[in-house]
Amino acid sequence: MSTEVWQQRAERVIPGGVSSNVRLLSPRRFFTHGSGARLWDVDGRAYVDYLLGQGPAFLGHGHPVVTAAVAEAVAKGMVYGAQHPLEVEAAERFVEAVGWAEQVRFGVSGTESDHAALRLARAVTGRRRVVRFAGTYHGWLDSVLIDYQRGWPAPASAGQPTDALADWLVVPYNDPTTLADVFDRYPDQIAAVILEPVMCNAGVIPAEDGFLQFVRETCTTAGAVLIFDEVITGFRLGLGGAAEYYGVTPDLAVYGKALAGGWPVSALAGSADLMSELGTGRVNHSGTFNASVMAAAAVSATLQVLTEDPPYARISEHGTRLMRDLAELGDNHGFPLRIQGVPAAFHVGIALDPDDTKPITDYDGLARLDLQQYAKLTADFAEQGLWVAGRGVWYVSAAHTDADADAAVTAVDAVLRSKS
Ligand SMILES: Cc1ncc(COP(=O)(O)O)c(C=O)c1O
């Protein structure tokens, strides 16, 4: 059955034909399987994949070690509503890999672990307000989803109560002065600062030199909890994630995506001191499927692979080459492609002003890009067998090879040639 037929069937029984609103933005494809960095659709077309399910397929699709571990775990009963040895082993491996954290609670989605982090921060400080940065994404719940374009505190969804957002203080990223002002304005009221250490959800904007150190010191001085949302950066920038990459230690951090080789697992980690509030039961964190047998097996297997054969140098080389090649293609075709981020996750945009080559350092800077034109290009990329996100981010996996990069460059070349 063809894509068109599947699409008609999907649209009859699934709203919009998709199971997550993020996918409304992508061209419709129905994939039958994936292997390594490649995907195949119902029409038999092959794609080189730099979307990786929005990040989780960090080891590539169907990694044999993770697949075997999960298959073995499935046969053992799946959920016990009790503890099991695999869960303890996964937590031990996690704490060892991350380096700075002493304890971890596993969950299912990044959204819910972010929620747990915010609750814990409010509980330990006895304060309500939380600082975040324009452009970051911390899940889709009422209390965190913000439409930054409409100003603060604008809900990003119909049905979302505005007062759910009342405790947020939104400041520009990479702007220490405004952050300091906010702390001056609300003394002893700020429970936490939460941030994406590389703002992958908005232009893949890295923290500028010294910014995270400044945030760390500000939180320490004010008695606020520093939360790194490492849902994308965790295990992607290195085993120790962005905390290791930038040499800045948060009080709490949230992980997901790359953590479990594609299996749905998230984690909230921190010092034993803070995390013990969950252990005493004073702060509630629950979930039927937390640390299921398969989830624990997937985490253990993924962390075993990442520890025994760290892919980070390879990924860095691959991403650096791709960023360079894409920039060159833009130049060759007179297309003002602007590429920034880190090799493991970078952003491709089209500058509105071809002479504008300044890096984008905060959310407002994204107005200098034609995001819609780029999103349209990604539909053409898909026609050429390249699967990337419409919002501009490219994710590199441990499975990508030079041949995959070559295929991506050929696809982009063909599309830009046809447009210039
Ligand atoms: C930085 C960040 N935090 C939280 C989330 C929410 O994670 P999930 O989609 O697993 O709920 C995402 C998802 O993309 C994310 O990128």
Q: pLDDT tens digits for the chain (420 residues)?
A: 899 999 999 999 999 999 999 998 889 999 999 999 999 999 999 999 999 999 999 999 999 999 999 999 999 888 899 999 999 999 999 999 999 999 999 999 999 999 999 999 999 999 999 999 999 999 999 999 999 988 767 999 999 998 999 999 999 999 999 999 999 999 999 999 999 999 999 999 999 999 999 999 999 999 999 999 999 999 999 999 999 999 999 999 999 999 999 999 999 999 999 999 999 999 999 999 999 999 999 999 999 999 999 999 999 999 999 999 999 999 999 999 999 999 999 999 999 999 999 999 999 999 999 999 999 999 999 999 999 999 999 999 999 999 999 999 999 999 999 988
What's the pLDDT tens digit per position in 313-356? 999 999 999 999 999 999 999 999 999 999 999 999 999 999 99
Query: Ligand 1, atom 4: nearest CA belongs to which residue?
Result: 138
The phi and psi torsions of 337 (rounded to 5 degrees) equal -70, 135
Number of the ligand 1 atom closest to the C-alpha atom of 108: 10
Rounded to the nearest angstrom, the distance between the alpha carbon of 375 and the centre of ligand 1 is 20
Tell me the sheet residues that pair with 79. none
Domains and CATH numbers, the chain: 3-59+311-419 (3.90.1150.10), 64-308 (3.40.640.10)
Residues near 402 by Cβ (< 8 Å), separated by ≥ 6? Answer: 318
Residue 309: per-residue pLDDT? 96
Q: Classify burial at 152, counting beta carbons within 10 Å of its beta carbon; exposed 0-12, middle 13-18, buried 19 or more.
A: middle
Out of 141, 231, 233, 265, give the residue to mutate to test ligand 1, the one with the largest number of ligand atoms within 8 Å of its CB.
231
Candidate of 51, 137, 347 to mutate for ligand 1, largest count of ligand atoms within 8 Å of Cβ: 137
Q: Rounded to the nearest whole angstrom, what is the distance from the C-alpha of residue 229 to the centroid of ligand 1? A: 8
Residue with the two structure tokens 């629950």:
286
Task: Report pLDDT for 78.
Answer: 81
Three-state secondary-structure class, residue 231: coil
Q: Which residues are catalytic?
A: 137, 229, 257
Distance 420 CA to ligand 1 centre (A): 36
Atom nearest to 112 CA in ligand 1: 11
Tokens of 105: 């609670």
Ligand 1 atom nearest to CA at 20? 9
What is residue 138's three-state secondary structure? coil
For ligand 1, mutation pick of 21, 26, 111 (most atoms within 8 Å of CB) = 111
Percent of residues in the chain assigned helix, strand, coil, to nearest 5? 45, 20, 40
* Among 230, 232, 236, residue to substitute to test ligand 1 (most atoms within 8 Å of Cβ): 232
**What region does 238 belong to: left with phi over 0, alpha with psi -120 to 50, or beta?**
left
Residue 407, H or E segment: helix 402-419
Nearest-atom index, ligand 1, CA of 233 = 1
Tell me, in angstroms, the distance from the centre of ligand 1 to residue 34's CA: 22
CA dist., res. 274 & res. 40, Å (int): 45
Residue nearest to atom 8 of ligand 1 (CA): 110
What does the pLDDT look like over 143-175, one tens digit per residue? 999 999 887 679 999 999 989 999 999 999 999
The structure tokens listed for 102 are: 């002493």
Spatial neighbors of 270 by CB under 8 A, at least 6 apart, are 101, 102, 103, 120, 250, 251, 252, 253
Atom number in ligand 1 closest to CA 136: 1
Report the nearest-CA residue for atom 7 of ligand 1. 110
Q: What is the dihedral of CA 216, 219, 222, 223, to 10 degrees?
A: -110
Helices (H), ranges, 261-352: 272-279, 293-308, 312-332
- Tokens coding 189: 């009221």
> Ligand 1 centroid vs 55 CA: distance in angstroms?
10
How are beta strands 31-35 and 38-41 bridged, if at all?
antiparallel
**Residue 173 burial (C-beta neighbours within 10 Å; 0-12, 13-18, 19+):** buried
Pair type for strands 129-133 and 168-171: parallel
Q: Residue with structure tokens 């119902």?
A: 42
184 Cα: distance to centroid of ligand 1 (angstroms): 30
Question: How many angstroms is it from 84 CA to the middle of ligand 1?
Answer: 27
The closest-lying atom of ligand 1 relative to the alpha carbon of residue 264 is 10
Cα 138 to middle of ligand 1, angstroms: 6
Torsion over CA of 326, 332, 338 and 343, rounded to 10 degrees? 20
Measured in whole angstroms, the distance separating CA 274 from the mean position of its chain's CA atoms is 24
Phi first, then psi: give them for residue 146, nearest 5 degrees: -125, 140
**Percent of the chain topping pLDDT 90:** 96
Q: Which residues contact 391 (CB under 8 A, 6 or more apart)?
A: 25, 371, 375
- Sign of the alpha-carbon dihedral angle for 311, 312, 318, 319: positive
Orientation angle between helical segments 402-419 and 312-332, nearest 10 degrees: 20
- The whole-angstrom separation of Cα 116 and Cα 104 is 12
> In a 3-state reduction of DSSP, which class is residue 59?
coil
Residue nearest (by alpha carbon) to ligand 1 atom 1: 231
Name every protein residue with a CB atom under 6 angstroms from any ligand 1 atom: 54, 109-111, 114, 137-139, 196, 201, 229, 231-232, 256, 266
- Other CB atoms closer than 10 Å to residue 155's CB: what's the count? 17
User: Residues for the chain: how many in total?
Assistant: 420
The radius of gyration of the chain from alpha carbons, rounded to an integer in Å, stands at: 21
Cα torsion through 310, 311, 317, 322, rounded to 10: -160
> What are the distances in angstroms from CA 226 to CA 141, 223, 252, 282?
20, 9, 6, 20
Residue closest by Cα to atom 9 of ligand 1: 110
